[in-house]
Chain A
Amino acid sequence: MNLDRLYSLVAALSLTVLAVLLAALWTESDQPWQWYQKEFAARTAADRPARLAAASTPMARRQLFDAIELADGRQPALREIAVPQLGEVSRCVTCHVAVTEPLVARAEFPFKKHPESYLDPRWHPVERYGCLICHGGEGRATDADAAHGLEVRGATPRRSGEYVQAACSRCHRERPIVAAPAWNLGRALVAENGCSGCHDLGPDLPGALTGPPLSGLGSKTTAAWLTEWLRDPAAVRPDTRMPRTPLAAEEIKSLVALLSNSRERQVDALGDEFTSLPVDFARRGRTLAQQDLACADCHDFPGLQRPGGYPIPGRRLALNLAGAGDKLTPAWIAALLDDPARRLPTAEMPRYGLAGDDRRALIAFLAGLRSSLKLPPPGRQPADPAMAPNDAELRKGRDVLARQGCPSCHITGDPTSSELRIGPSLATVGDLQPWQIDWGSATVSPGDRHLITYFLRKLQRPRQFHDDLGAVNPLRMPTFRFSGPQSRAVATYLLSRSVRTVPDEYLVPRSAGPTAFVSSVGESVPGRLAPLLSRYRCTACHALAGQGGAIAPALDGLGTKLRTDWLRDYLAAPSPIRPGIQVSMPRLFLAPAELDAIMVALNAVADPRVSADVPAISGSNAMATEAELGRKLFLTGVGSDGETVGVCAACHRHGSPGGAAGPDLTHAAARLQSEWVYAWLRLGHRLVPATRMPSFNLSDTEARRLAAFVFSDLPAKTPGQGGKP
């Protein structure tokens, strides 16, 4: 190579290096986030939107940006929110420039204010929470794909929409969580459908048997009904919770043989009593069910359907009774009514003290509820030893039972069946990385290979990932019937199953429930109440000392809240108090002696915060003046210092016209103790955390006056005795 060419080569290479470095400089200086900040500056200044609209070409836009930069003297700069407590740095605000700017609530992404009031300084001040704790993503990144966790391994892919609610339970310990409707719905669905029977979901939802026991099924129903049911539960009862398990006809046959082979002598013994009941009994039973027993508050049955809402929107609390006569033998219905806790340990069904003709009428009514399936009527099905299936058939049935995971939801009563969870643990499923998901033989586009898509597809058709394997499909999850929003809610809940933790100072405590003060009364009260509560299954709906259901108000502090005479009348013949209640208190048909015992026990359940040491509320002339002042406050909402504290009459009425959102207070004086009303007005949520009534922070005087007004129509009584007659 001659020297000249050598010099040229060196020169050319020098230029190449220069070109590469210039290219690097160019990529470095042209970052998308700078564009967002310039665009935002152009949009928000006074005269600029018009100029911006005029600048249609990229070049004109660039010139406009340059002019703005010059005018503002402000260069685009990286911005970040550092949250050292969480070990997080969020540079999201470099592009999402306006998350805390209220002026741009209606702009489009990313020039938009954060939706809703989640970032309100009272709830989630941005400098304390940052972005990542709820949204995931890679906070240090400054290009969109990386920041959204789409190309960075190890980052949580960004969550938006309802899936953000998966993060709420990291801090919030209260259930349900305020302002996390999708998560709450998902949790309710997961609980109701018994997901934790097959899957470990961590301590939030410990495993629970959601189905009825399978033991004694031969005495409860017929083989024909079981066969129909196992083929497709929803075809028999469209709103059932039982998922469909694809079973071969052979499998159904041996399963039915196994299940109907199990009989219960106690139920069979009741059999003959109900074989032929008078026809008018059914009509009488219907009246009883619709009125006194309030069956329709929880059940649908033909001719009485109500919109449901508990625990899940659109759902009823208990199963649809249509076709109950096809399924249930009259003897079993009788056994259920006699002791619901024994027949259906997982249902919230109360026990009624029904006897004699009332009991027979109700059974006649229920046994007469037939469906269009045209199944042979149950009843009079004595165990026939000749029909007993052979051992091989039973063994086959047991195999199917165990393989399909029936014991995850049902007590089988079969000592040989295993009660193990057949599904994998989902306790940390929200931490799964996209590449850890096993899609099996399913075809998934690369953009869909993330956890949420997996959940949605799995919930829609659980065995689709091994369709190629046909009969030997190792996936055993049955098919549930979730709607689109329900699937998304369940996915939201599953995303929240994670080992990620937050520092203790971020934890929101469970709302201080009523557990705290009941124990101060003494162990003896729940102790004396316990047999009664369990006999009538009060705790299926009411909680006491933190134990029990959430369908109805807690019983804690009842002794210092309600007047005993009123409560006694109420229990004998309940009538709804609160407007908009879906499940009302049924008439339990309590025997007088039991009623007395309950009165004594409930009276002892006191709340120490409701003190007897309060100013006399009624009876004196001075109180009449107070009551008049209270009436003004009730109607106008103007407090003693002239400030508006809240118009009670907007929701309540007391003799005079008023709102209907809260209970009618006209006869509250007969129901409530004045001390409790006084304490309630002062303490609000602190006394009853679950109430829908807002706290008004009333002064002692205001509380006294309002209480005086509520009790103004009550005859005088001696101070200090409270409401206890």
Chain B
Amino acid sequence: MNTITPTPDRPRSAYRNFYHHLHPLRIRRDSLRPAATFGLGLIAVSLVIIIVLTGLLLMFHYVPSTDPTAGAYASMQDLRWIVPFGRLVRAMHRWAAHFLVLVVVLHLASVFLRGAFQVPRRTNWLCGLGLLLLVLAESFTGYLLPWDQLAYWATVVASNIAGAVPLLGGWLRQVLLGGSDVSQVTLVRFYALHVFALPLLMFILLAIHLWRVRIDGGLAHRSENGVSVYPSPLGEGAAPAAGEGLRPRTPEPHPPTRLSEDSSLPTWPHLVLREAAIFLACLAVVAAAALFFDAPLGEPANPAHAPEPAKAAWYFLGLQELVSYDYGPLSRLHWPPWNSAGPVLGPEFWGGVLLPFLLFTALCAVPYLRAKPCGIGIYFALGRRWSCIIFLAALLTIAALTFVGYFLRGPNWILTWTW
């Protein structure tokens, strides 16, 4: 009943022009199943929209200054106590950002476990990894803006890790902080990054990310397995794309239009309604969370007095945990290794720089390790079981580290049983 037949009436043409940039006309029935992707990508996009809108409202009040009476901290207090709905908007921004980090990681896991990172979606996998970095960078820069103790000292911890990068470390730290300490300059830099530079990059990457979903033939689906020839826009039997460059495109027909009537449904209203439902659900959850739980605000930043322990945000606690370990003989090595007068490569390097770098490099390299795709669109496909196991092990390790860092670390970063 909802078959879409292109007729040149006005709404329909508007629909085609705008809406079709993001959506195919028809979508596989399988892809609409909740368990296909658990809607994680859509949830992430919904959260981004909420974050942008609430962030805009917050910008109306926020002053990126360290002035104790009229600066960042005072604007936090005013948002909390006298700006109408200020408390709600700030809490929504905060909780949506926390949810986003979680959802993005789950999204990554889901894509990995479904094998959706393989040809032809290698580029989009890289694009998604870029977005992951941007989300973390946004979280990190946004964390400083309230200018409370938590913010200040989390940034000090993180900037010290950044300083451990060989060769570039000192310079990187200097550029990031705008000096040797976290100061007014740092606050302005983080603010500029948080509200302008990083969102701009994120929108560009997000646009590419969403657009590639279409270009790459929609969500990964098991029917792609064994098809030696990728259903190219150029038509059946066209040569598979070499590498991951952009393939030549034609405006029509899009690959999904060739989906059979049985296996697919029209995007309108089936997909669009689901998108609306997910967005509304996200909004309800975030607003309810914000209503019941205030965004925390510690005491004003005090460079002279470090809280015990100084903890980073929860999503960086795995990293902080790694930095706290003793790397034995490794941490006596110098940089460069033959120069014994050079700086020592301490735990900041091994745990804070090298390990995350290797992990991220591995994630980037994963699609290129296997020439032939295997088990596309199938969770825990047999052919990829070892990579799935390794991936899950790594993910659980990070989760465990985060748990230890969040719950079990007391003053002086000593293991304590807190309940």
Name A residues whose Cβ lies closer than 8 Å to a Cβ of B: 3, 6-7, 9-10, 13-14, 16-17, 20-21, 23-24, 27-28, 78, 84, 87-89, 91, 138, 140-143, 146, 152-155, 433
Contact A142 B273 (CB under 8 A): no
Contact B69 A13 (CB under 8 A): no
Chain B residues whose CB sits within 8 angstroms of the CB of A152 once the complex forms = 299
Contact A24 B273 (CB under 8 A): no
Contact A78 B82 (CB under 8 A): yes
Contact A20 B284 (CB under 8 A): yes
Chain B residues whose CB sits within 8 angstroms of the CB of A20 once the complex forms = 284, 287-288, 291
Known: A20-B291, A27-B291, A87-B68. A146 touches B85 (CB 8 A): no
A-B interface contact total, Cβ < 8 Å: 77
Contact A91 B81 (CB under 8 A): yes
- Within the complex, what minimum Cβ distance (angstroms) separates A522 from chain B? 48
B330 within 8 A of A: no
Contact A140 B81 (CB under 8 A): yes
B312 within 8 A of A: no
Tell me the bound Cα distance from A146 to B277 in angstroms. Answer: 38
Contact B82 A17 (CB under 8 A): no
Known: A9-B277, A17-B287, A140-B81. A24 touches B88 (CB 8 A): yes
Tell me the bound Cα distance from A572 to B80 in angstroms. Answer: 74
Contact A6 B298 (CB under 8 A): no
Chain B residues whose CB sits within 8 angstroms of the CB of A146 once the complex forms = 81
Contact A28 B269 (CB under 8 A): no
Known: A13-B284, A84-B69, A88-B69. A24 touches B291 (CB 8 A): yes
Contact B299 A153 (CB under 8 A): yes
Tell me the bound Cα distance from A20 to B95 in angstroms. Answer: 15
Tell me the bound Cα distance from A56 to B217 in angstroms. Answer: 70
Tell me the bound Cα distance from A13 to B273 in angstroms. Answer: 11
Contact B82 A16 (CB under 8 A): no
Chain B residues whose CB sits within 8 angstroms of the CB of A3 once the complex forms = 2, 269-270, 273
Tell me the bound Cα distance from A474 to B277 in angstroms. Answer: 63
- New A-B contacts (10) at CB < 8 Å, excluding given A17-B284, A140-B82: A10-B276, A10-B277, A14-B280, A16-B280, A24-B85, A24-B290, A24-B291, A91-B81, A140-B81, A154-B298
**Within residues 61 to 83 of chain B, which ones have a CB less than 8 A from any CB in chain A?**
68-69, 74, 77-78, 80-82
**At the interface, is chain B mostly helix, strand, loop or mixed?**
helix
Tell me the bound Cα distance from A140 to B80 in angstroms. Answer: 9
Question: Which residue of A has the minimal Cβ distance to B290?
Answer: A24
- Within the complex, what minimum Cβ distance (angstroms) separates B292 from chain A? 10
Contact B74 A140 (CB under 8 A): yes
Chain B contact residue count (CB 8 A cutoff): 31
In the assembled complex, 16 residue pairs joining A and B whose CB atoms fall closer than 8 Å, in A order, are A6-B273, A6-B277, A9-B273, A9-B277, A10-B273, A10-B277, A13-B276, A16-B280, A24-B85, A24-B287, A27-B291, A28-B84, A88-B69, A143-B81, A154-B300, A433-B299
Contact A21 B287 (CB under 8 A): yes
Q: Mark B137-154, 1 if CB is under 8 A from A, else 0.
A: 000000000001100000
Contact A140 B274 (CB under 8 A): no
Contact A17 B280 (CB under 8 A): yes
Chain A residues whose CB sits within 8 angstroms of the CB of B80 once the complex forms = 141
- Within the complex, what minimum Cβ distance (angstroms) separates B233 from chain A? 29
Chain A residues whose CB sits within 8 angstroms of the CB of B395 once the complex forms = none
Chain B residues whose CB sits within 8 angstroms of the CB of A141 once the complex forms = 77, 80-81
Chain B residues whose CB sits within 8 angstroms of the CB of A6 once the complex forms = 269-270, 273-274, 277
B283 within 8 A of A: yes
Tell me the bound Cα distance from A431 to B307 in angstroms. Answer: 15
Tell me the bound Cα distance from A7 to B77 in angstroms. Answer: 41
Contact A28 B299 (CB under 8 A): no
Chain A residues whose CB sits within 8 angstroms of the CB of B270 once the complex forms = 3, 6
Q: Mark B276-311, 1 if CB is under 8 A from A, else 0.
A: 110011011001101100000011100000000000
Tell me the bound Cα distance from A155 to B280 in angstroms. Answer: 38
Chain B residues whose CB sits within 8 angstroms of the CB of A89 once the complex forms = 69, 74
Tell me the bound Cα distance from A153 to B77 in angstroms. Answer: 12
Contact A17 B283 (CB under 8 A): yes
Tell me the bound Cα distance from A21 to B74 in angstroms. Answer: 26
Chain A residues whose CB sits within 8 angstroms of the CB of B274 once the complex forms = 6
Tell me the bound Cα distance from A143 to B298 in angstroms. Answer: 17
Question: Which residue of A has the minimal Cβ distance to B275?
Answer: A10
Question: Which residue of B has the minimal Cβ distance to A23?
Answer: B291
Tell me the bound Cα distance from A17 to B288 in angstroms. Answer: 9
Question: Which residue of A has the minimal Cβ distance to B89?
Answer: A24
Contact A13 B88 (CB under 8 A): no
Contact A154 B291 (CB under 8 A): no
- Within the complex, what minimum Cβ distance (angstroms) separates A513 from chain B? 36
Chain A residues whose CB sits within 8 angstroms of the CB of B277 once the complex forms = 6, 9-10, 13
Chain A residues whose CB sits within 8 angstroms of the CB of B291 once the complex forms = 20, 23-24, 27
Contact B68 A153 (CB under 8 A): no
Chain A residues whose CB sits within 8 angstroms of the CB of B81 once the complex forms = 91, 140-143, 146
Chain A residues whose CB sits within 8 angstroms of the CB of B78 once the complex forms = 140
- Within the complex, what minimum Cβ distance (angstroms) separates A177 from chain B? 28
